[in-house]
Structure 1
Amino acid sequence: METVLRAQPGVRDAAAGLREYQHGDQRLIAYIVPTGDPRPDSDELRTALARTLPDYMVPVTYVTLDALPTTPNGKLDREALPTPEQQGTGPDHISPRDPVEQVLAELFAKVLGVDAHRVGVHDNFFELGGHSLLATRLIAHIRSVLLVTLSPREVFERPTVAGLAGLTRDDHGRAPLPQIRRADRDGALPLSSGQERLWFMEQLRPGVPLHNMHWGGRLYGELDAAALRAALDDVVARHEILRTVFPTRRGRPEQLVLDTLEVPWDVQDARDWSESTVKAHVEEAVRAPFDLAEGPLLRSLLLRVGAREHLLVLAVHHVVFDAWSLGILLRELAHHYRARVDRVEPALPAMLLQYADFAAWQRSWLAGKPAAEQLRYWQNRLADAPKALELPTHRPRPAIQSHHGGYELVTVPADVMSRLREVCEREGVTLFMTLLTGFKIVLAWHAGVTDIVVGTPIANRNRVELESLIGFLVNTLPLRTDLAGDPTIGELLGRVRETCLDAYANQDLPFEQIVRKVAPGRDRSRAPVIQVMFAMAHMEGREPEFPGLTIEPLDISLEISRLDMSFIVGESASGLDVGVEYNVALFDQATIARILQDYGVVLRALADWPTERHLSDLMSLVAAR
């Protein structure tokens, strides 16, 4: 990133780094040494960097210095970089004009991680770096502070402070979601709807690591292993769900929260091990099955592979965890580790709710009118939908679904991504919607159909009190779009936009409830309702900092495919990384590589073609390859 900064016009030298603000908030700050006057404009720098860097690598604040501070030996002294002051605003900036706009500007800034003074009343939430997941968080904060419940569609259609202020002042008595209260701990604690589904699937496929989740990191520096282990125990003590087991009573599972639980802590000296032996130990740690009834459902492996180098691996079962939870776990682990090393008390706020409270609340919500209304929406939306998305396979589908998986990865160049963002701005869609449109076009070509149902995960944390909760909250939305009638590219984007906005407005209903109504029969050869998934990986927050340590992510593969095919896209410094997890019982590697190539071709066309061109033109382009 610093290299890209130095390459900008008017910049002689530059540095960047995370700086901590109040309440542990960390922001990425750029420090600029200009070549002279006029000095580089921060908005222009931000726009230029956004063309080549992913959102999470674009600094949110820019500080101009006469020179970068250095140590006596001439190296950059990062500790001496000053705390940034509030930055000025441009000539078109209009500050909030009343208390409602002021609150909304502050909420924009909080959710996006930018300075509140940067947010004017006509600034677009999505142009400031927002996306669908962050929009859900914004809605939760608006509900909490202003006691107004907005819909994702309203945020998308009126994405400025001024626009949303008008909606909050004209709130027509919308019923807020009922408050989540602490559940009674005297009796049995119910499972959430998602937990119950995972528990049932574990009974069908015992010993298969289908729902194992993991994280691995290579740690460089002086590690205090005792402090790290104590810090992990601190996190487990803080979150009930990490010390929860699932015994059965009369054939039904229950949540049982243990008072204490010691996380398995496997520490070994691997300095003399071969690379293959280290790899085998890591894979064993993440693939070993969990006993849901006995637990524990979290375990760790620490390998010392060098004098100042360790491998840390955490494995956890999905029934108590999701991808959002990983960010919480790592941030709190870093916080407790720092406290243990410095021998001070941790400063995290008290946990007012636990996952079991959410599970009990969800059960109550499912019995009410809002859940029934959302169920009717999904029944109507998926009525007469194809039973399955039948992509051409190399081998007959097994009678019982296989989960042995392969993985392929390609990168779409940054210049294509830059042009796609321009298309998004012109057409009023998010990057996710545009990437999903391209994916559905490729699926339509390979499957020979126009009625496409694709699943996508959604964090399901549309309330402020759920943002810091570890647990299995993620939900799956079946996104059905009809591509019939040879629509133009602009019409295609509009159809996918409507599909997504309607789904976001009905995201609270657990996917399991949808399956029970629209696909009650059990076909063990394939997943119900959706066989293909499309997900966009977002970098929520900054990487946690462990004192004295540098952490490099460790690539670990389970070689598992939960569905026929899953596309996972994520922005990187190189552009867009597109990974495909696929079922090797159905597809050969060459076919997946062809699908990836076709996807790249379609994305380039979406980036460069006029939106008046038709779907048939895109299909002809793919066919001609």
Structure 2
Amino acid sequence: MPDSVPMPLSAGQEGLWLTHQLDPDSPAYNVVLAVRLRDPVRTDVLQEALTALVRRHELLRSRFPATEQGPERVTVPAQAVRLDVREVPEADDDGLFLLAGRAGEEPFRLAGEGAFRAVLLRRAPDDAVLVTATHHLVSDATSQWLLVRDLFAEYGARTAGGPGRPAAPSDGGTWDEQVRTEREFVTSPRGARAAAYWRQVCAGLAAAALPTDRPRPAQRTLNGATVELALPDRTAARLRGVAAQRALTPFAWLLGTFQAALHRSGAGDGFLIGCPVTTRFTPRSREAVGYYVNALPVAGRFGPATTLLETVEAAQRQLRGGLAHARHPVELIKGPADRGPLFRISCTLVAADRLPVPGLYEGPVRLGGLRAELCDVPQQEGQLDLTVEVLQDSRGFRAVLRYNTDLFDAATVERFRDTWHRLIDASLDAPGTRAADIGLVADDDLRFLLSLGGA
């Protein structure tokens, strides 16, 4: 039973809720963090820690029913959220990984069951995987790590195996206060100026779209898969150095070359992509679980003489200008009815070396007194035509390209990945080179193709 009066959703949450109604069984918006545990886990204590966690972060114990006025949010008692313990003694390592992925993919019933689950897959007394999964409308990448940090802090406090419980928020702020602040901003003079800024950015541009392998379905689908791009260590070091010499960020460099790759792959001379950024603007929000995300529209414009450096510099200017107006929800940006969605492709940065659980991304750590390591299961595939997540850590850069499998074959996305990689290398060698002049075929392949033409 709910223990609160109905509360409104943010603009971003409303958009995600509507997307969920179109395909409630899709895992495309499930945010998952799975941790392999190599010590015995006391499930009674873990349940106590879970109850404390969801009492602290109210979105984790929220339900999202539909009403005649639209979706609403209600909270339930913290004790209503239960740990799901599944005994899997027959699973080998590969099987345990697959089971963890499936636990993360299970659909959410937002109205009746909420948007959070915790599943413990126990293969042996000292070998288990804890899968924490949320629907995106209550979480983001930072939130998923925050909830794992806080869960194991609560567990450690009860077993004397950790640093103690997390401190409570300083002012007792709740998510409905965040929603109220957003609505007040939108109707303020500052909100009006931000809306005008975004209308100017988007004027005359449509969403970037790559040529598809199959016709676009009449109704949007959310089926997906993943390919990756890991930059070699030498390339990552060069990227940091070259970007710093020109007072640019590595992500702006990667974003600009990503736009150039879209241009060279058939997306056209002018387009929009989304760049999700955090909206954690207050100390309280930096410690809270929630959907603190806004996707900034970023324009790409290319002419015959546009250089790679010009594209990178334009990307950095837009990121800086966009962050100054990031409080305005992108869902409220209106355009011509025939333009379609604001964007079909997105690119974002996740600084893994700054996440709330230090070291977990890179190797084994201790959480709540337990030996733990990341179990990096696939997730969030098929949200858009193409979503790219650039993961930055102390070792370098890795890009995760998640794509819609109803539109693209794996080979097509791999070819785009290779084009992007070639443009990154070319931009580091000669930033002033025109984007249109970069060869996209390796010399050996080009010679082979030319020989076929002369046969």
TM-score range, shorter chain: 0.7 to 0.9
**Residue 297 of structure 1: how far off its partner (Å):** 2.2
Measured after TM superposition, the shift of residue 186 of structure 1 is 8.3
Q: For 1:359 and 1:199, how far apart are their aligned partners in 2?
A: 15
Q: Which residue of 1 aligns with 2:436?
A: 616
What does 1:244-263 align with in structure 2 at a 5 Å threshold? 244-263=62-81
Structure 2 unmatched ranges of 5 or more: 361-365, 447-455
Give the distance between the partners of 1:400 and 1:245, measured in 2 at CA.
Answer: 27
SS at match of 2:351: coil
1:603 equivalent among 424, 428, 433: 424
2:200 to 355, 363, 380: 380
Q: Deviations over 1:141-175 (max 9, x none)?
A: xxxxxxxxxxxxxxxxxxxxxxxxxxxxxxxxxxx
CA distance in 1, matches of 2:266, 2:442: 13
Equivalence for 1:434: 253
Is contact 1:220–1:310 with CA below 8 Å preserved after alignment? yes
Go from structure 1 to structure 2 and tell me whether the alpha carbon gap of 1:189 and 1:202 turns closer, same or farther (over 3 Å shift): same
State whether structure 2 residue 386 is matched by structure 1 residue 565: yes
Q: 1:427–1:490: 8 Å Cα contact kept in structure 2?
A: no
What SS does the corresponding residue of 1:484 show, helix, strand or coil? coil
**Corresponding position of 2:319:** 500
1:345-494 matches, cutoff 5 A: 346=165, 348-350=167-169, 352-386=172-206, 388-447=207-266, 449-494=268-313
> For 1:579-624, what per-residue CA distance to the aligned partner results, in whole angstroms no more than 9, with x for missing partners?
2111111111111111111111111112222x33322332x35586
Match of 1:518 in 2: 335
Q: Deviations for 1:177-221, whole angstroms, at most 9, x for unmatched residues?
A: xxxxxxxx9864211111111122222223323322211111112
Separation of aligned partners in 2, 1:274 and 1:483: 51
Alpha carbons 1:519, 1:529 under 8 Å: kept = no
Match of 2:375? 554
SS in 2 for 1:508: coil
Query: Where does residue 216 of structure 1 map in the other structure?
Result: 34
Question: Is contact 1:216–1:313 with CA below 8 Å preserved after alignment?
Answer: yes
CA spacing shift, 1:251–1:411, aligned 2, 3 Å = same
Letter in 2 for 1:509: H
Q: CA deviation at 1:339?
A: 0.6
TM-score under structure 1 normalisation? 0.65
> Aligned partners of 2:25, 2:166: CA distance in 1, in Å?
39
Deviation at 1:472, TM superposition (A): 1.1
Distance 2:226 2:28 in 1: 15
CA contact (8 A) 1:189 1:360 kept: no
Query: CA shift at 1:450, angstroms?
Result: 2.0
Q: Within 1, Cα distance between the matches of 2:321 and 2:433? A: 26
Cα contact 1:193–1:512 (8 A) shared by 2: yes
Runs of 4+ in 1 over 6 A off after TM superposition: none
Report the number of matched residues: 432
Q: Separation in 2 of the partners of 1:397 and 1:186?
A: 43
Residue 576 of structure 1 is aligned with which of 371, 383, 397?
397
Tell me which amino acid in the other structure corresponds to 2:86. Answer: Q
Shift of the 291–251 alpha-carbon distance from structure 1 to 2, 3 Å rule, reads farther
| Shift in Å, 1:261 | 3.8
| Letter of the structure 1 residue corresponding to residue 433 of structure 2 | R
Over aligned residue pairs, what C-alpha RMSD do you find? 2.5
Mean Cα deviation higher: 436-445 or 224-233: 224-233
Does residue 586 (structure 1) correspond to residue 403 (structure 2)? The answer is no
Once residues 316 and 364 of structure 1 are traced to their aligned partners in structure 2, the CA distance between those partners, rounded to angstroms, is 28
Cα offset, 1:578, TM superposition:
2.0
Residue 259 (structure 1) shift:
3.6
**1:57-97 per-position Cα deviation (integer Å, ceiling 9, x unaligned):** xxxxxxxxxxxxxxxxxxxxxxxxxxxxxxxxxxxxxxxxx
Matched, 1:199 2:21: no
2:450 corresponds in structure 1 to none
Quote the offset at 1:405 in angstroms: 0.9
Corresponding letter in the other structure for 2:414: A
8 Å CA contact 1:442–1:598 kept in 2: the answer is yes
- Cα pair 2:169 2:287 within 8 Å, conserved: no
Q: Which of the pair has the greater relative contact order for Cα pairs under 8 Å at 6+ separation? A: 2
State how far apart, in whole Å, the 1-side matches of 2:112 and 2:440 are: 55
Structure 1 stretches of 5 or more lacking a match? Answer: 1-184
Evaluate the alpha carbon distance shift between residue 212 and residue 559 of structure 1 in structure 2; reply closer, same or farther with a 3 A threshold: closer
Is it true that 1:225 corresponds to 2:39 in the alignment?
Answer: no
Structure 2: distance between partners of 1:345 and 1:567 = 36
Specify the SS of the correspondent of 2:81.
Answer: coil
| Residue equivalent to 1:342 | 160
Q: 1:453 to 1:340 in 2, by over 3 A?
A: same
Percent identity of the aligned residues? Answer: 28
Structure label with greater radius of gyration:
1
- The letter for the 2-side match of 1:265 is L
SS at 1:518 equivalent: coil
Q: Which amino acid aligns with 2:242?
A: V
Q: Aligned partner of 1:236: which letter?
A: V
The one-letter code of the counterpart of 2:243 is C
Q: Secondary structure at the match of 1:561?
A: coil
Query: Could you tell which deviates more after superposition, 504-513 or 547-556?
Result: 547-556
Q: Does 1:237 align with 2:55?
A: yes
Do 1:222 and 1:548's aligned partners in 2 also have CA atoms closer than 8 Å? no
Q: How has the CA–CA distance of structure 1 residues 347 and 390 changed in structure 2, closer, same or farther, with 3 Å as cutoff?
A: closer
Tell me, in whole angstroms, the C-alpha distance in 2 between the residues paired with 1:585 and 1:451: 25
Separation in 2, partners of 1:318, 1:390: 24
SS of residue matched to 1:537: strand
Q: Distance in 2 between matches of 1:187 and 1:271?
A: 43
Q: CA deviation at 1:347?
A: 5.3
CA contact (8 A) 2:33 2:131 kept: yes
Q: Secondary structure at the match of 2:117?
A: strand
Query: Is contact 1:410–1:577 with CA below 8 Å preserved after alignment?
Result: yes
Give the counterpart of 1:269 among 87, 90, 94.
87
Using the alignment, how far apart are the partners of 1:467 and 1:267 within structure 2?
30
TM-score (norm 2): 0.88
AA in 1 matched with 2:209: E
**In 2, distance between residues paired with 1:404 and 1:248?**
25
How far apart, CA to CA, are the structure 1 residues paired with 2:21 and 2:76? 22
Contact map agreement 2:118 2:132 (CA 8 A) in 1: yes
8 Å contact 2:257–2:308 — kept in the other structure?
Answer: no
